[in-house]
Amino acid sequence: MRKIIAVYPGTFDPVTNGHLDIIERASLLFGKVIVAVALNVNKEPLFTREERRNMLIHVTKHYKNVEIDDFNGLLVSYAKKKNAHVIIRGLRAVSDFEYEFQMSLTNRKLEPEISTIFLMPNEKYTYLNSSLVRELARLGGDVKCFVPPYVLSQLKMKLSEVAR
């Protein structure tokens, strides 16, 4: 049977336990999962492209079928270049739905052969996002239950650099 390649795009600034939950589910479902760090979104990331990539590489190294990459430009063009027929998105709550619905239909219009598949993370991560993690960490809140230990150490280092 054909190996299905899936792309999981996002800003990953930084990767959280919620993202990891989705990566793990996707790795069980697809032949190959490419986690793709988006470089041209309208956000000003705290972490550089290399830092976001390195954190992802570090926390996914035990998944044999997960690869880390980054991309610029249209997601569907990138997915096509990678021979991926699936885009993975996480759906955390109903509030995610409208934006995701619009994105997935637009992507389908652009590339009808690529389908978006939504995965739901464990309910304990439904309220989580990267901005919340960054803000909590900056204000001295404890984020160790939201991110893997390696990401926690990188966050501490980054915030102490920024504060200098």
129 binds ligand COA (CB under 6 A): yes
148 binds ligand COA (CB under 6 A): no
CA distance 120 to 6: 16
CA distance 48 to 44: 10
Among 106, 115, 122, 153, the residue binding ligand COA under the rule CB under 6 A is 106
Catalytic annotation present for 77: no
128 binds ligand COA (CB under 6 A): yes
Name residue, tokens 């939504």: 118
Among 6, 16, 59, 147, the residue binding ligand COA under the rule CB under 6 A is 16
Q: What is the DSSP string of 26-92?
A: HHHHSSEEEEEEESSSS---SS-HHHHHHHHHHHHTT-TTEEEEEE-S-HHHHHHHTT--EEEEE--
The site string for ligand COA over 77-96 (x = CB under 6 A, - otherwise) reads -------------x-x----
Of the listed 43, 49, 124, 156, which one is catalytic?
43
Name residue, tokens 């989580």: 128
The residue number whose beta carbon is nearest to ligand COA equals 18
Question: Which residues lie near ligand COA (CB under 6 A)?
Answer: 9-11, 13, 16, 18-19, 22, 38, 41, 74-75, 90, 92, 103, 106-107, 121, 125, 128-131
Task: Write out the catalytic residue numbers.
Answer: 19, 43, 92, 130
